[in-house]
Structure 1
Amino acid sequence: MWETFAMLEYSESGLLQRARLELLQMLPEHFELSDAVIDEHGPVDAPDALWQLREQNTGYGLILVETKMSFTPRDVARLRDRLSGPMLRLMRNPTVLVVSTWLSPRTRALLEEGGYSYLDLTGNVRLRVDRPAVYIRLQGADRDPTPHRSHAPVGLQGPKARRLLRLLAETQPPYRLTALAAAGGLTAGYVSKMLHSLDEQALVTRNRRGMVEDVDWQGLLLAGAQRYNLLRNNEPNTFISPEGAAALYARMQDANFPLDAVVTGSFSAVDIAAVAAPTQLVLYVDNPHQMQRFGRLLPTDQGADVVLLRPEDPAQVEGLRTVNGLRHVALTQLVLDCLSGNGRLPEEGQAVMEWMRENESEWRRPDLPTLAG
């Protein structure tokens, strides 16, 4: 039923009525939900509706409802700014409930961080009221059921988008749109659309002149990894190493290693944040056949301990690190590769990102690098 309702066209007043009906169906029968009255002046529209939730034995609480057809992550900050005055204190800190047709996973996460409740018409619900004690949590759609809507954000999909997010994550702001475009080999129009979308998703913050002033680099990497797959976006060749992946990696560290290979995945992550001993060696290579001959690798479709990848975008193997004489991908690319990989890789990606959070000054650049690809 949720999905059917979400596809209908609603006005904000219709959306509010639909949300109230859905909420009543979720609450126990002995709970009452009515319009609130303050100082006997009648129903209060603050800002869209104010409801009173009452239970006979435990009293009542207020629910302040914010209704919007499209509610983006940036709207969470706007809501917080609007409700930061004396209004909530006057109402003794009511529950703030955001109602929309659909709320993205990031929007819902930011609402929870802010202590707000939410309800959308695809079935995503989180309602917490202290008095009377109510806690409801339901899972709905993680993808917009009407993605054709003009307000749908530009997705972090494709090599150009990942190139831009790496620049944003790796570089301490502030910087201008034109500088980002030049550093990434991207058009100014593309960067402008992406920054607008990222601003709406509260992944970057810009001033009135459009300059990027703040970046949620962790949120950027997590969002980018959701639209990327290490083994699908890059061309993979899978092998078994007769000597074992660890022995092959050790042999590659010899000063005479002749091939152009870049390490990613577990053997790169373990140098930053060890989760477990690495067992699969993942390499970006220009010529898989040369690496196959060097390692005497045996092709396989199952149980591979060596994966050779042709990178989707040359920028993936730029801004490299040198570890034990070998070239490793930059930390931002390592996180993307791990979070979007299989097996233990996502866990290792989270561990690398935690290290990056605690040691931000050691890897974030003061100036934009060049990832022209």
Structure 2
Amino acid sequence: MESPRIREAQLLEQGIRALSGLLGPEWQVTQRPNNSRVFDAALEVRADGDSTYTQLLVEAVQAVPPRFVVDRLVPKMQLLREVNHYTNLLVVAPWISSQARDLLQQHGIGYLDLTGNVGIRVSRPAIIIHTVGAERAPRSAPREISRTTLAGVKAGRLVRVLADVPPPHRATDLHRVSALSLPYVSRLLETLEDQLLIRRKGRVVTDVDWPQLLRARAQETSLLGHGTGTFRGFLAPNGVPAVLQQIPRLPTKSIGAIGEGLSVTGSYAAQRFVQVAVGGQLVLYVGSWLDIDDVADELGLLPVYEGADVLLLNEPDSFVRKGSEFVDGVQYVAPSQAALDCLAGPGRMPAEGEALLNFMEAHPQEWRASTKYGGLPPVQD
């Protein structure tokens, strides 16, 4: 097994090679003796035939969670500015998230990851490099600090609770309300704190950056690719409005009204609050006790492989209906779930998700404080 030092050396070598490739043959990137134990390397960068050069002190790390930027890198950058105004800090990593990149840019710290995300700005000599690489961590990239991520059904439950219910929160309360194990809740809270998505005082969650939390969760999932769910596309012969009118009239069986097991998400759920565009695909979650084909028959839908205007999804977890509301006999998911699904959806849905987030930020009293939560059976992920 390779030691962390060997991996760090390889990462540094790849980073220097990538930087040289970006600058081109008319620039020289030279590694100088590094007498400092604070940084991993010292690079001298100059154009051919130019006596002016800049020094880049390099920090090569396997992962760059936002908390690491704030707690470790920003103090180093502040110290550098006091010692030498023309010395710059460059962070090299396998992959750097968009949130971490934004923080690095705000504090004037250069970054380069091996997927192609690069942001370097030097005044003397003038160097400006900005390229965009992977928005999601490659499978080969090391996870940030904790192996517990925002992917999966269980994470979706905790994200919804943190977004919908204003803090303060204790892990024991989140465990009880979400019906998730206490160790899992504690591990995920550590991850969220590393990503600056929550702040804690002691063991109490005192602040939640819920818009960024929903965005981060959406990056780790896909509306049409839930681990436990499947979807089918259909055509509504009489149009989507007719389907919405038909739902309250669906028959009642021994397991209850079919309409109670259907919940609108995606574009039509977002359009209750914001209007980015008219129409779109109707996306319906189908309760676990219902069969998609049976529901399609009751609604008079025709199965199609292309051009579907109705999507029926097996709900990945009953928690997606938490906080839902019936309007004219049709169940709509809560705004936070609609925003999540739009952000993780195809086509124009992410734009609708952003518009809905803007509405939610401007009107928190219309959705956040009114959400009521109770216990649910534990879920398997």
Same fold (TM over 0.5): yes
- 2:80·2:87 contact (CA, 8 Å) conserved in 1? no
Partner of 1:23: 19
Q: 1:210 aligns with which of 203, 209, 214?
A: 203
- Relative to structure 1, the CA distance from residue 323 to residue 187 in structure 2 (aligned partners, 3 Å threshold; closer, same or farther) is same
Q: Alpha-carbon deviation of 1:150?
A: 9.2
Q: Alpha-carbon deviation of 1:330?
A: 0.8
CA distance in 1, matches of 2:351, 2:111: 29
Q: Alpha-carbon deviation of 1:137?
A: 3.4
Partner of 1:275: 276
CA distance in 1, matches of 2:273, 2:321: 18
Q: Which moved more, 1:10-19 or 1:263-272?
A: 10-19
2:69 maps to 1:73:
no
Partner of 2:305: 301
For 1:276, the aligned partner's letter is A
- 1:46·1:65 contact (CA, 8 Å) conserved in 2? no
For 1:125, the aligned partner's letter is V
Partner of 1:199: 193
Partner of 1:3: none
| TM-score (norm: length of structure 1) | 0.81
- 2:160·2:336 contact (CA, 8 Å) conserved in 1? yes
- 1:318·1:371 contact (CA, 8 Å) conserved in 2? no
Q: 1:239 aligns with which of 228, 234, 238?
A: 234
Q: Alpha-carbon deviation of 1:303?
A: 2.4
Q: Alpha-carbon deviation of 1:109?
A: 4.0
CA distance in 1, matches of 2:104, 2:375: 34
Partner of 1:108: 101
For 2:305, the aligned partner's letter is D
2:323 maps to 1:319:
yes
Q: Which moved more, 1:181-190 or 1:262-271?
A: 262-271
- Local SS of the residue matching 2:72: helix
Structure 2's unaligned 5+ residue stretches are none
Count of residues in correspondence between the two structures: 363
Q: Which moved more, 1:271-280 or 1:243-252?
A: 243-252
- Relative to structure 1, the CA distance from residue 325 to residue 366 in structure 2 (aligned partners, 3 Å threshold; closer, same or farther) is closer
Partner of 1:176: 170
- Relative to structure 1, the CA distance from residue 124 to residue 10 in structure 2 (aligned partners, 3 Å threshold; closer, same or farther) is farther
- 1:237·1:308 contact (CA, 8 Å) conserved in 2? yes
CA distance in 1, matches of 2:132, 2:3: 17
Partner of 2:345: 341
Q: Alpha-carbon deviation of 1:46?
A: 5.8
Q: Which moved more, 1:16-25 or 1:298-307?
A: 16-25
- Local SS of the residue matching 1:347: helix
- 1:315·1:371 contact (CA, 8 Å) conserved in 2? no
Q: Alpha-carbon deviation of 1:171?
A: 2.3
- 1:167·1:368 contact (CA, 8 Å) conserved in 2? no
- 2:63·2:144 contact (CA, 8 Å) conserved in 1? no
Q: Which moved more, 1:281-290 or 1:195-204?
A: 281-290
Partner of 1:187: 181
CA distance in 2, matches of 1:236, 1:321: 23
Percentage of identical aligned residues: 34
- Relative to structure 1, the CA distance from residue 238 to residue 149 in structure 2 (aligned partners, 3 Å threshold; closer, same or farther) is closer
- 2:74·2:107 contact (CA, 8 Å) conserved in 1? no
CA distance in 1, matches of 2:90, 2:265: 43
Partner of 1:165: 159
CA distance in 1, matches of 2:192, 2:313: 29
- 1:280·1:307 contact (CA, 8 Å) conserved in 2? yes
CA distance in 2, matches of 1:351, 1:116: 31
| TM-score (norm: length of structure 2) | 0.79
Structure 1 residues 38-67: Cα deviation after superposition (integer angstroms, max 9, x where no partner): xxxx96666455545444569444434333
Structure 1's unaligned 5+ residue stretches are 1-5
- Local SS of the residue matching 1:65: strand
Partner of 1:126: 119
Q: Which moved more, 1:221-230 or 1:268-277?
A: 221-230
CA distance in 1, matches of 2:147, 2:342: 25
Q: Alpha-carbon deviation of 1:13?
A: 5.7
- Relative to structure 1, the CA distance from residue 123 to residue 304 in structure 2 (aligned partners, 3 Å threshold; closer, same or farther) is closer
- Local SS of the residue matching 2:231: strand
- Relative to structure 1, the CA distance from residue 62 to residue 173 in structure 2 (aligned partners, 3 Å threshold; closer, same or farther) is farther
CA distance in 1, matches of 2:213, 2:55: 36
2:150 maps to 1:156:
yes
CA distance in 1, matches of 2:366, 2:7: 50
The alignment's C-alpha RMSD in Å is 3.7
Q: 2:360 aligns with which of 356, 362, 368?
A: 356
Q: Alpha-carbon deviation of 1:132?
A: 1.4
CA distance in 2, matches of 1:181, 1:138: 41
- Local SS of the residue matching 2:100: helix
